[in-house]
Amino acid sequence: MTGQVEGKVALVTGGASGIGEAVVELLAKEGATVIATDVDELRGPDVVARLTKAGGKAIFLEQDVTSEERWAEVAAEIAKRYGRLDVLVSNAGIGIAVPSITDMTLADWRKQNAINLDGVFLSVKYSLPLMRKHGGGSIIMMSSLAGLRGAAGLAGYSATKGGVRLFAKSIAMECAAVGDGIRVNSVHPGIIDTPIWGKIPTGAAGAGQNAPIDPEERAKMATPLGRAGRAAEIASGVLYLASDASRYVTGTELVIDGGMNAGAVPRR
């Protein structure tokens, strides 16, 4: 099937890498006009250039999701260029792991909250008016399996992702209450092979003895399907939630985790 989001205008935060990059690519391929934003001013323009060369409609805007001032500018730019917003994928996020919560500095705790929670709050605050102008839209928030269950070494990350999960449900209820045609859902990836794993500090809990975390290695042991997921496999779920195929879906959570949340890894 093609053209599943034809004619829609979509904003994807954290669109320069990993899951965000795959989402930008798939939405553009399926006919959307995509605004990809990211702090990464090197990779972001490359992602968009590749797509436009292939005939896709996409632009890149540099954006730190923690800056309210920048959110106001990005929203104004979208209003000026397109006059509407149909899809928000609030995806930008980081993970900070520590051997014990007592090793977590307040500065890191706040940094993670700022990107993973403040950034999502601001994305909604500045996207809703653009969506309401045209009678509806779809908001997709990137949570995590860590937003559904605890993870040793990742308590701070889990707190942000659990927060995103209930924030999504609450905004879904708020939108339904006013009947503005906006649906809101969260996506919960398991272990996905993206650059995020290389950014998690060495020595984190579960990483082994000061070894960097290898997602493929970790997923082999921890995932019923026995492998890490691909960014494109998360993008397919996002596409479903962005498209009209999910028109009756709001306030729910889409878990894409190779079976991790379902139960213990079966004996192989």
Interface residues with ligand NAD (CB under 6 A) are 13-14, 16-20, 38-40, 63-66, 91-95, 115, 142, 144, 189, 191-192, 194-196, 199
- In the complex, what is the shortest distance from the CB of residue 74 to ligand NAD, in angstroms, rounded to a whole number? 11
The minimum distance between CB 160 and ligand NAD, in angstroms, equals 8
The smaller minimum CB distance to ligand NAD, of residues 178 and 262, is found at: 262
SS3 185: strand
Nearest distance from C-beta of residue 151 to ligand NAD, angstroms: 10
Which residue number, 166 or 247, has a Cβ lying nearer to ligand NAD?
Answer: 166
Q: Which of 170, 186, 168, 155 is nearest to 256 (CA)?
A: 186
Helix (H, G, I), strand (E, B) or coil at 93: coil
Contacts of range 80-83, beta carbons closer than 8 Å, 24 or more positions apart: 82/9, 82/33, 83/133
Identity of the residue, 79 or 94, whose beta carbon is nearer to ligand NAD in the bound complex: 94
For 205-231, b where at least 16 C-beta lie within 10 A, e where not — what string?
bebeeeeebebeebbbebbbeeebbeb
Query: In this structure, are residues 142 and 164 in contact, taking their beta carbons and an 8 Å threshold?
Result: yes
Q: Report how far Cα 115 is from the mean position of its chain's Cα atoms.
A: 11
Shortest distance in whole angstroms from residue 81 CB to ligand NAD: 20
**Amino acid sitting at position 262:** A
Question: Exposed, middle or buried: residue 127 (CB in 10 Å: 0-12, 13-18, 19+)?
Answer: buried
126 is catalytic: no
Smallest separation (angstroms) from ligand NAD to the CB of 26: 13
Instruction: Using the minimum distance from each CB to ligand NAD, give the nearer residue, 103 or 118.
Output: 118
Give residue 182's identity as a one-letter amino acid code: I
Least CB distance to ligand NAD at residue 13 (A): 6
Nearest to 149 by CA among 259, 261, 4, 23: 261
Q: 217: which residues sit within 8 A by CB, 6+ positions away?
A: none
Is the CB of 90 or the CB of 246 nearer to ligand NAD? 90
Active-site annotation holder among 82, 126, 157, 248: 157
Neighbours of 69 (CB within 10 A): 8
Closer of 38 and 86 to ligand NAD (Cβ): 38
Catalytic residue numbers read 157
